[in-house]
Each structure stands twice: as structure tokens, then as C-alpha cells.
Amino acid sequence: MVKARSYKLLCPIARALDRVGDRWTLLILRDLHAGPARFTDLQRGLTGIAANLLTERLAKLVADGLVVQAPGPHAATVYELTELGRKTRSLIFELAMFGGGLPHEGEPVAPGNLRTVAVTLGAAAERVEAWGFDLVSGLVVDGENMEISAKEGVASVFYRKAEQPDVVLTTSYESLMQLSDGALSEREFIQQESQVEIVTPGKDKELYRLFARILEAFR
Amino acid sequence: MVKARSYKLLCPIARALDRVGDRWTLLILRDLHAGPARFTDLQRGLTGIAANLLTERLAKLVADGLVVQAPGPHAATVYELTELGRKTRSLIFELAMFGGGLPHEGEPVAPGNLRTVAVTLGAAAERVEAWGFDLVSGLVVDGENMEISAKEGVASVFYRKAEQPDVVLTTSYESLMQLSDGALSEREFIQQESQVEIVTPGKDKELYRLFARILEAFR
DNA sequence: CGGGATCCGTTACGATACTG
DNA sequence: CAGTATCGTAACGGATCCCG
């Protein structure tokens, strides 16, 4: 067992940091916001976290009631957020907003999976007023599938393959980052860096408009 | 010099955490959101941070451009947020929101000053629609002065003594925490736990209504 | 192969003491 | 007041091993 290093300060911010302030903890939560995940999924997505640290962090998150273990597919157990854990969503979104404008320190290493993209886009999408949109679209980034959809005024992003999409946009993580940095304009992004497969005619334009609205959250 | 322990992940959240994810860093920023502060002010407010750690953290914050040193009163130097540093405000507010509902771990220790109250209330106040309010009021918590004012639809909270207040509310940190926990109702808080000095008649009621609106942000 | 537990060298943290 | 210096302790990170 680990002896928690707590601030013990009578302050809500310190209390929050006592739960999520440890190294790696917020990145684990970030991944879990994309949906339930196995131990190994998390380990890959965090690119190099030591197994013992992941074990410790998960144990503390479970003990604090932010995460629970549940039976998953193929007799595996998955970790997923509790209702309390889901309350960290806007916190994580604010982190992404702040970090989006910063240069990286040292040589960046790509993460082992793209759950972070789904979470960041998803949190932004939730804040978009999406009346007038009605579509299901696939977004394939470096071969990994996610879904961007809009219905009844609400846009959402999931880390899963879209079923019967109206349009599928294929691109790379690199291009997406350049787009959100502003290094690539939206027009350049669509024209040069992506491939589009249109199932329902016209829905490609709708996706671009929705995508643009979501990205506005990062300015 | 310190060897930074960076995630080096190509992800905005990891980039943010590379700047503010170290232990104590977010609490230092929290204090600085209340206004410029000297080294010793910060040390007292953080109740027991080691001097060398505060030095290291401040040096990294300055190197990263979130904080600058500036000449202060009495030939002292103060630390204050840069424009980039101020962008952490909603991040810190979300932390306070999340931590507000959590029980504390172990025996809590009171902070050495109440800058945290001003920051938390202030961030909440900024989100309040305050048309119809026009007042300057003092809030004295455990003998420390802050100011709650509203003008032209905008409410704000400062960590300073109010000049020519319309009303002054005197209370304790303990009572405020109970109020935000819900352990104390607003009525109980006002009637039992506080003393009110009314300068401009009627402004006391106005303050209570504004206060109630600000506190709604925490529900 | 998924889900850890154990060991061990390295690094950061925290308390105290000391200095310009 | 604003830090620097030292040092014991705790956490981190990498590797290896274990069990179903």
C-alpha cells in the first residue's frame, strides 16, 4: 500500500488535488473519459507508464470512488468512471484548452492510442450548439476509428467505429494537431491532408461546418 | 537547476500538466490569482511548503512564462501572473468545483491566509449575471479583508480591503466552508454566524442576494 | 497475453538549518 | 525578507518475474 502524500489543506482546490493531483492520474482519467478500458489499453495510451504506477493509481482512484472495475468483453475486466469520476470532465477540458496553446517541452512522443483526441473533441462538442445538424460521421485518425455525430441539437464524439456513417473523414493525428495549433487552416486541412468518403451526398459539407464549430472552442 | 520530469506526450493535456502538474504548482497559481504576492506571502498561504520547493516552482513558472517578478511596495519584489498565467483561471475554478463536494483526507489544516477564498469566490462571481446589482461591500473572514462588488452587470471579488463599502459582512472561514458544503443554510449563516455592518440602508439585502447567486455556481 | 506484484537504482520531496 | 544548502525519506521508473 502507498502512503498518500496529502496536502491536508482546508481548501477545495487542495482537496481536489489530493484525489487527482498525483502524476499520471489526470492522464488516466482523460483516457477513461473516452470509455471503459482494460489495464493494457491504458498502459499503451500512456506510452511508458510503469505497470506498478498504473496499478497504484488505479487502486487509489477506485478507493476514492472515481473509478470502478467492471466485467468487460472476453472475460477481461475493464476500468470505468463512476458518476463522481465523470465530474472531472470539464476539468480535463480546461487542461486541454490551456495546453493547446503551449509548445511542447523536448521531443514529443506520440501516445499509444488516440483516446485523448476523442475526449478533447468530445468535451468541446458538448459545448457546441448543434441545432440544424443531423448526421453520423466517422473520423479515422491514423487508422483508429472515432465517431462524430449530431442529433437534436447535441453534438458528440465517441471513441468507436461509426455504424452506417453518412460520411467518413480520414486523416492523421499530426494534421489534426496542426489544425488546432492554427499551423494549418481548415481549408488546407480538408483539401490537402484528408481523404473523404461520402455516403450520403451533402453530408460532407455538414460535417465540415460542425467540425469548424467544435474547433472554435479552442480559440 | 532541476531536471524536469516531462511526459513528452504529443497531447495538449500532457503539455498543460508539464507546466502546472508538479506538486504545489497549481496551489501557487491559485494564490497568485488573488493578486501579486511576495515569496513569504506564498509560503504562509501554502502552510508548510518547503522554501526550496517554492523557489524551484517559482523559477519554473517564470521560465515557462506564467509568472513574472515585479517590483513591489517597500522595495520588495513580488510575483505576479502573466497573461498566459491568468489563462489558468477557469482550470483552477474547475478544480475548486470538483473539490468542493469531496470530503477531506485526514485531519485538515487551515491555510495561512485566505487568498484561496477570494480566488474561488471571484471565479464564481465572474460567471454570475449581475445586472440590477450596484454595490461595494466588504467581506471580513477571520480578520482578513476582501471585497465583493458589482457594477454594470459584472460581479467581482478582490483580496483587498473595500474602500467606502455600502455594507460589511464579518464571518469565519469555518462558517463559509459549512455554507458551501450545505452544512449550513444561507439563512442560518447570515443569522447565526455573521455580523453585519450596514452603511447604506438596504444594501445588506442586495449583498445577500448577490452572495446567493455566486454560491449557486457551486451546486 | 492480460493483469498485475516485486525488486532496485534514481529522482524528487520535505524538514531543518543557515546565509546575504 | 528571500532565499540557499544539506540530508533523510518517499515516490518514481525500468526491469523482471509470477499467475491465471
Partner residues linked to B138 by β-bridges? B147, B168
Digit-coded pLDDT (tens) for A178-215: 887 778 888 888 888 889 999 999 999 999 999 999 98
Chain B contacts of A89, Cβ < 8 Å? none
For residue range A92-124, list pLDDT tens digits in order.
999 999 998 888 777 777 777 888 889 999 999
pLDDT score of A45 more than 80: yes
In this prediction, residue A48 carries a pLDDT of: 74
Q: How far is CA B53 from CA A53, A71, B110, B112, B188, in A?
A: 23, 43, 20, 17, 41
- The predicted model gives B139-162 an average pLDDT of 94
DSSP 8-state code for residue A35:
S
Kindly identify which residue of chain B lies nearest to residue A101, measuring between CA atoms. B12
Hey, which of B26-40, B69-83, B106-120, B165-179 has the most confident mean pLDDT?
A: B26-40
Residue of chain A nearest B88, judged by CA positions: A98
Q: Is residue B2's pLDDT more than 60?
A: no
Q: Give the model's pLDDT for residue B57.
A: 93
Extract the C-alpha cell encoding A121: 473533441
Mean pLDDT of the region A162-178: 91
Residue A1 has pLDDT above 90, yes or no: no
How many residue contacts between A and B have a Cβ separation below 8 Å? 162
Nucleotides of C under 7 A from a protein CB: 1-7, 11-17
**In residues, how long is chain B?**
219
From the list B6, B27, B88, which residue is nearest A105 (CB)? B6
Q: In the predicted model, what is the mean pLDDT of chain A?
A: 89
Q: Of A69-73, A107-111, B50-54, give the lowest mean pLDDT range.
A: A107-111
Contacts of B29 (CB under 8 A, 6+ apart): B20, B61, B66, B81, B85, B88, B92
The answer for residues whose C-beta is within 8 angstroms of residue B202's C-beta and 6 or more apart is none
Strands B167-171 vs B135-141: parallel, antiparallel or unpaired = parallel
Stated in angstroms, how far is A46 CA from C3 C1'? 16
Confidence of residue A34 (pLDDT cuts 50, 70, 90): very high
Residue B153: is its pLDDT beyond 90? yes
Q: How many CB atoms lie under 10 A from the CB of residue A156?
A: 16
Above 80 in pLDDT, residue B107? no
Chain B interface test: which of A13, A57, A176, A178 (most B C-beta within 10 Å): A13
A89: pLDDT strictly greater than 70: yes
State which protein residues have CB closer than 7 Å to strand D.
Answer: A 2-5, 22-24, 48-53, 56; B 5, 38-41, 50-52, 55, 58, 72, 76-78
pLDDT over threshold 60, residue B218 = yes
Contact: B100, A12; criterion CB under 8 Å: yes
The C-alpha of B52 sits at a distance from chain A's nearest C-alpha, in angstroms, of: 17
- Which of B9, B14, B106 faces A6 most closely, judged by CB atoms? B106
B192: buried, middle or exposed (CB in 10 Å: 19+, 13-18, 0-12)?
exposed
CB contact under 8 A, B109 and A9: yes
Calculate the angstrom distance between C1' of D17 and CA of A42: 21
Can you list the alpha helix ranges (DSSP code H) found in chain A? 12-20, 25-32, 39-45, 51-63, 83-86, 89-100, 115-126, 173-181, 186-188, 203-216
Check B18 against A104: CB less than 8 A apart. Answer: yes
The runs of H, that is alpha helices, within chain B are 12-20, 25-32, 39-45, 51-63, 83-86, 89-100, 115-126, 173-181, 186-188, 203-216
B217: nearest Cα among B91, B127, B119, B102: B127
Find the mean pLDDT for residues A136-158.
94
Whether the pLDDT of residue B112 is over 70: the answer is yes
**Per CA to C1' distance, which residue is closest to D2?**
B39
The pLDDT value recorded for residue A2 is 55
Instruction: Tell me the pTM.
Output: 0.91
C-alpha A126/C-alpha A124 separation (Å) is 5
Least confident residue range of A20-24, A45-49, B11-15: A45-49
The 3-state DSSP class for residue A71 equals: strand
pLDDT value for B3: 54
Stretch A27-48: mean pLDDT? 91
What pLDDT score was predicted for residue A171?
Answer: 93
A16: three-class secondary structure by DSSP = helix
What are the φ and ψ backbone dihedral angles of A196, each rounded to 5 degrees? Answer: -125, 130
Do the Cβ atoms of B106 and A173 come within 8 Å? no
Q: What is the mean pLDDT of chain B?
A: 90
Q: How far is B165 from chain A (nearest CA, A)?
A: 27
